[in-house]
Structure 1
Amino acid sequence: MMSFGFLSVLVAGLGMGILHAFDPDHVMTMSSLGARPDSRGATKRYAFSWGIGHGGILVIAALALLVFEAPMPETLPKGAERIVGVILIAAGGSLALALWRGSTPEPSATRTRAPFLIGMVHGTAGSAAVFALLPIGMLSPIQGVFYILVFSFGVLVGMMGFGHGFDRIQTLISKRGQAFVRPLRGGVAVLAIGMGSYWLVGA
């Protein structure tokens, strides 16, 4: 039977996972992907794919660390942090290019898979912070892995909620006129490029 203490830890992990989904780099990357003219209404799908990638890499890292006592190399999260900056710049630049061209082709297979891979990069970059908050002293290895599963589910729920909200906002704005949509997308592109540049400097 699950103890009340462990249940409390899992509830806290779920809440922290939901909040973690709204980290600025996560939100900005997903906004850039969902704001493309050829991605209308796709943010929820991208959010789900991103969440699976993010959670999958954390669970693998948790199994390696807690069960097999093989911690992730310290250089890996730091390198992933730099890649996050590059991804933000690329996503913002790609969005700006799509707006400049004004075309709406069908999303390519590469870009359809991109959210999953980006989620893995974000999960790797944030793994050090996530495991630093893991109450290892209170949990067995299996409980620790279960905690990461619940945390990752919280991240998925939070990002799905953001994806749904972002799609709704775009729909509401488009109903008021296409003149409002382009500035919104342009603003997202500029913010993504700016944040990515700042991320690279601070990485």
Structure 2
Amino acid sequence: MLGLEHALDADHVVAVSTIVAEGGGIRRGAGVGALWGAGHTAALLAAGLPLLLFRVALPASLGLSLEAGVGVMLIALGLHTLAGWRRRQPHAHVHVHDGVPHVHFHTHAEGSHHRHGHGRPAGGLRPFLVGSLHGLAGSGAVTLLVAGAAPSVAAGVLYVVCFGLGTVVGMTLTSTLIGLPFALGLRSFRRAQAALRLVAGVLSVALGAAIVAEMGQALAARW
């Protein structure tokens, strides 16, 4: 249950939204969420095993730095989404036929036959890496501390695995719902689809900047 709740943290939902917003529909949305959850769980286990074995705590300054890294990642994801939104807006190209120049307008939306190499859909590695970074930061790091208080290494690993499974289920369901309007937008809601991309990009940049500023102040206070 804690894993399900953790998957709904604002920075997690916004990060996944920027990836799902690139299109692909419900199936791709579910895949993005599952990969995010897998990366999140893998990072928790990779970082948690040494903490469990040596019974050490994660330094607070390291946790703040990782959280700031999440903010930087959100800014990058948001800018990437906004760039994709911009590519899909109508724009002009000039061509010359028989010595006579003419201008035509088009977009680079999915399914368009007129392409100029303006980018590709995201692969499966990106949501996995995004989930991995989230798994090392924020309340994910707190989970490692709780697991470190477990009576045995096996009990601590079991705790992290159950928490990770909760995040996989929670984010898969969430990203599937996020992908629903984009799936519908492939046929009848192009304008709404573009607006959702724009909102996801702006929110991601704004939230990332807020996290970086907050973590920067916290780190400065510690020094």
For residues 132-181 of structure 1, the C-alpha deviation after alignment (integer angstroms, 9 at most, x for no partner) is 444826x3221111111111111111011112111223223555421221
1:46–1:21 distance in 2 versus 1, CA, 3 Å: same
Higher normalized helix content (fraction of residues):
1
Unpaired runs of 5+ residues, structure 1, are 1-14
- Give the match for residue 202 of structure 1: 214
In terms of Rg, which structure is larger?
2
Unpaired runs of 5+ residues, structure 2, are 89-107, 111-118, 216-223
- Give the match for residue 124 of structure 1: 136
Q: Is the 8 A contact 1:54 1:120 kept in 2?
A: yes
Secondary structure of the equivalent of 1:107? coil
Higher normalized strand content (fraction of residues):
2
Letter in 1 for 2:13: V
Percent identical pairs in the alignment equals 30
C-alpha separation in 2, matches of 1:177 and 1:154: 32
C-alpha separation in 2, matches of 1:130 and 1:53: 15
Task: Map 1:1-203; keep pairs closer than 5 Å.
Answer: 15-37=1-23, 39-41=24-26, 42-102=28-88, 103=108, 104=110, 105-107=119-121, 111-126=123-138, 127-134=140-147, 136=149, 139-203=151-215
Q: Is the 8 A contact 1:34 1:43 kept in 2?
A: yes
Letter in 2 for 1:45: G
C-alpha separation in 1, matches of 2:166 and 2:40: 11
Structure 1 residue 131: Cα displacement: 3.0
CA RMSD of aligned residues (A): 2.1
TM-score of the superposed pair, with normalisation by structure 1: 0.81
Structure 1 residue 62: Cα displacement: 2.1
C-alpha separation in 2, matches of 1:83 and 1:135: 24
TM-score of the superposed pair, with normalisation by structure 2: 0.75
Letter in 2 for 1:21: A
Structure 1 residue 199: Cα displacement: 0.9
Say how many residue pairs are matched: 185
1:143–1:186 distance in 2 versus 1, CA, 3 Å: same
Structure 1 residue 77: Cα displacement: 2.3
Deviates more, 1:40-49 or 1:70-79: 70-79
- Give the match for residue 96 of structure 2: none
Q: Is the 8 A contact 2:85 2:194 kept in 1?
A: yes
Secondary structure of the equivalent of 2:171? helix
Q: Is the 8 A contact 2:185 2:193 kept in 1?
A: yes
Q: Is the 8 A contact 2:52 2:153 kept in 1?
A: yes
Q: Is the 8 A contact 1:76 1:124 kept in 2?
A: no
Structure 1 residue 40: Cα displacement: 4.2
C-alpha separation in 2, matches of 1:149 and 1:184: 34
Secondary structure of the equivalent of 2:120? coil
Secondary structure of the equivalent of 1:106? coil
Q: Is the 8 A contact 1:67 1:141 kept in 2?
A: yes
